[in-house]
Amino acid sequence: MLCAGLVLALLTTGGGSASAAAVTPPTGKYAPLDRPGPRLSVPRAELAAAVTADSEFGEDVRQEIIARLMPLIEAHTTEHILRDADAYLSFLTTQPEGSTGPVAVTGYCFGGLLAMHTAVAHPT
């Protein structure tokens, strides 16, 4: 598979290390990729219009936004992330609709980091 982008990471926690990769295919009628199963509801040609912000968002507000977000980001220590992951997994595996077997975690951007920390801490 040809990849438009490839991200590799090595996560290290008290429990060990794990590598992770994320890829994005360069083509396809539906974004972000074509595969068996239900089609996404937004064709690639219309995706930009679907995700374009209507308001101004530029360098003039960037510093203000970063100043507001940094305390929230810094509050997410590994200990906090893993405590939340433990609570989420405990809840999900006790639901009658769920399973006690392995689970999959996924995330994008900051959520991707949270998902990788969770996977490293709970490999089974």
User: pLDDT, tens digit, for every residue of 15-67?
Assistant: 555 555 444 445 555 455 455 555 555 566 665 655 555 555 567 777 888 88
Same domain, 70 and 113: yes
Look up the domain containing 124 and give its range: 59-124
Same domain, 86 and 109: yes
Same domain, 4 and 45: yes
Give the Cβ contact number of residue 117 at 10 Å: 21
The model carries a pTM of 0.44
Query: Which one of 5-14, 25-34, 48-57, 107-116 scores highest in mean pLDDT?
Result: 107-116
Domain stops at, among 32, 52, 72: 52
2 within 8 A of 26, measured Cβ to Cβ = yes
- Distance from C-alpha of 42 to C-alpha of 16, rounded to nearest angstrom: 40
Same domain, 120 and 66: yes
Same domain, 34 and 84: no
Same domain, 16 and 40: yes
In order of 28, 70, 87, 96, 107, the CA distances from 113 in angstroms are: 27, 16, 17, 29, 7
Which spans in 1-124 are helix H? 44-51, 59-74, 78-93, 110-121
Please give the helix or strand (H or E) that residue 110 lies within, else none: helix 110-121
Same domain, 65 and 42: no
User: For residue 52, what are its two tokens?
Assistant: 């374009």
Return the amino acid letter for 119. Answer: A
Q: What pLDDT is stored for residue 1 in this prediction?
A: 32
Closest C-alpha to 15, from 98, 116, 92, 93: 116
- Overall domain count for the chain: 2
Same domain, 22 and 66: no
Same domain, 81 and 24: no
